[in-house]
Amino acid sequence: MFIKFIIFFSFLSLTACESPLRDSISIESTPEGLVIEDFSRNDLLNWNVVDDNVMGGRSQGYLSLGDEIAIFRGYLSLQNNGGFSSIRAYVPYDYTNYDTFVLRVKGDGRNYNFRVRADDNSWASYSHSFSTVENDWVVVELNVDDFYPSYRGYSLRNMPELSRVIVREIGVMISDKKEGEFNLEIDWIKIK
């Protein structure tokens, strides 16, 4: 009975994250790449915060919009085997013909993960870690060949490479096993 409950709960968790695609978003191209999100347009992606409280943890993350930037901040707690906070958004376009995600961020010196999910395996994420410099804006380039598939912190085998899947969700996660406050400002997210 317990196993049936866990399977049912996992199914609900996955389907609760599904979102219909939006056709009204415009695509902007810049010399640095194709803009996925710049936090200044009227057609923002639908961002959500997902913390470890979905599994009993005590971390709390918040997402707010400043002057054309997103501010992802909060407190990372390791209580109750927790230790992650994330922001996620569904993307409405096919990004299979690109090879690098590019982010402009100002951080707190902590390490974060940029994560994507695909159409075919919406339960699995492809992750790439990146470092921040405290109070300095940096441009981070993440090659799709360097992303690795994972599920709830465990690396997966026999999964297609990220460059061969259709990306449907992007996100940023902190899970560096360091309890305390975090703060990450995001100017834009692009792909080239």
pLDDT of residue 55: 87
pLDDT of residue 22: 41
Domain ranges of the chain: 2-191
- Do residues 170 and 47 lie in contact, with contact meaning Cβ atoms separated by under 8 Å? no
Longest dimension (CA), the chain: 56
Q: What six digits make up the tokens of 76? A: 């990372």
Q: Is 165 left (phi over 0), alpha (psi -120 to 50) or beta?
A: beta
Judge if pTM exceeds 0.85. no
pLDDT means per 10 residues, the chain with 192 residues, are 38 40 54 85 87 93 94 97 95 82 97 88 85 97 91 79 80 96 97 92
Architecture per CATH, 2-191? Sandwich (2.60)
pLDDT of residue 71: 97
Strand 33-37 relative to strand 180-191: parallel, antiparallel, unpaired? antiparallel
In the three-class reduction of DSSP (H, G, I as helix; E, B as strand; rest coil), residue 77 is classed as coil
pLDDT of residue 159: 80
